């Protein structure tokens, strides 16, 4: 495979990995029950902006559009949001409050880049590679979010939709 195509798959993979990280950060909070919500509202380490979103139930994977630090509430600038590089350049810390970031942020993006590039190299057609890549991302989210009981029904529904899509695309 051409080097150019591999680079495109890597960029695509780390970008999806970055979105997966947003899902992992926000979904368990979006679906949090009252007890967990109250626990976070009483947490001194949580940013006022995060508490505001929890209180108003306005946190979702698309809202607010821009990411923010859950510890200090500062908005993440575009240059702090470049997959892999920003994590390394900021030495795994928030630029504003220096709170240590979870290494999961890096590994999710790194393994997505690797996996997507691997599948892009292995499969000749991009549709099959794309399908297996999306399956990987979904399984990543499923594995991480499954312990959150409130999310399980939605995850099972998404799994059913994805499985149907797999059958349609793979056997058509």
Q: Give the residues lining the site for Zn ion (CB under 5 A).
A: 69, 71-72, 94, 96-97, 99
Q: Which residue is associated with the tokens 């529904």?
A: 157
| Closer Cβ to Zn ion, 60 or 71, answer by number | 71
Residue 125 backbone phi and psi in degrees, to 5: -85, 140
CA distances, 157 to each of 23, 138, 151 (Å): 16, 12, 10
| Closer Cβ to Zn ion, 50 or 141, answer by number | 50
Closest separation between CB of residue 47 and Zn ion, Å? 7
Q: What is the 3-state secondary structure (H, E, C) of 16-44?
A: HHHHHHHHHHHHHHHCCCHHHHHHHHCCC
CB 48 within 8 Å of CB 148? no
Closest separation between CB of residue 113 and Zn ion, Å? 25
Q: How far apart are CA 141 and CA 117, in angstroms?
A: 19
Closest separation between CB of residue 42 and Zn ion, Å? 19
| Closer Cβ to Zn ion, 59 or 72, answer by number | 72
Closest separation between CB of residue 64 and Zn ion, Å? 15
| Closer Cβ to Zn ion, 60 or 99, answer by number | 99
Closest separation between CB of residue 166 and Zn ion, Å? 39
| Closer Cβ to Zn ion, 71 or 152, answer by number | 71
Q: How far apart are CA 29 and CA 13, in angstroms?
A: 25
Torsion angle in degrees (nearest 10) through CA of 142, 99, 18, 91:
-130
């Amino acid at each position: 495979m051409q080097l150019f195509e591999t680079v495109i798959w890597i960029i695509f993979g780390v970008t999806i990995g970055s979105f997966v990280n947003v899902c992992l950060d926000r979904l368990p909070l979006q679906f949090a029950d009252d007890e967990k919500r109250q626990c976070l509202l009483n947490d001194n380490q949580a940013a006022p902006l995060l508490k505001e979103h929890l209180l108003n139930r306005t946190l979702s994977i698309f809202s607010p559009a821009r990411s923010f630090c859950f510890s200090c509430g500062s908005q993440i600038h575009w240059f702090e949001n470049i997959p892999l590089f920003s994590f390394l350049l900021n030495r795994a810390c928030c630029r504003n409050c220096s709170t240590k970031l979870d290494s999961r942020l890096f590994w999710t993006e790194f393994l997505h880049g690797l996996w997507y590039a691997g599948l892009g190299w292995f499969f000749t057609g991009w549709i099959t590679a794309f399908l297996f890549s999306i399956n990987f991302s979904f399984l990543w989210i499923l594995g991480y979010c499954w312990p959150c009981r409130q999310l399980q029904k939605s995850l099972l529904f998404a799994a059913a939709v994805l499985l149907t899509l797999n059958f349609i695309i793979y056997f058509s």
